[in-house]
Amino acid sequence: MVSSNLYFLCAYVSMWLEIFGELQKQIFNMKKLFFLLGLFIMVISFSGCLEGAYVSDQPSYIEIEHPPRPSPQHIWIEGDWQWNRQSHNYYHRNGNWIVPQRNRTYSPGFWQHSPRGNHWRSGRWH
């Protein structure tokens, strides 16, 4: 009789451990899902903060005289446009001479037109 009760007790405990293990897996998966969902929402919300805003008209082109080239290895990187959050305008940053990064090329920035307006895409290294 004792061994029979012990057998049922072990089976009962084993069943509850299995149910508890499955429940833990589901809770872990839900935590993962909520974490990834929160991360996705943060990325989407902050993606607009990384670059400037859209404007109806592009700012006027600014011609700036280049300073003397420091060495034959230097290349000229044209000026860039930056978004000012206080004045809600783009302002121009002067270009500069730079030694190119090894085995990389530079693509200059450009104005991209879309239905929302004009948006500056900064230059970058490839």
For residues 3-7, average pLDDT: 68
14 pLDDT band, cuts 50/70/90, is confident
For residues 42-65, average pLDDT: 73
Question: Whole-number mean pLDDT of the chain?
Answer: 82
Note the pTM of the prediction, 2 decimals.
Answer: 0.55
pLDDT of residue 76: 92
77 pLDDT band, cuts 50/70/90, is very high
DSSP track, the chain? -HHHHHHHHHHHHHHHHHHHHHHHHHHHHHHHHHHHHHHHHHHHHHHHHHS---BSSPPPP---PPPPPS-TT-EEE--EEEEETTTTEEEEE--EEEPPPTT--EE--EEEEETTEEEEE--EE-
Ordered by start, the domain boundaries in the chain are 1-50, 75-125
For residues 86-105, average pLDDT: 90
pLDDT of residue 57: 85
pLDDT of residue 12: 76
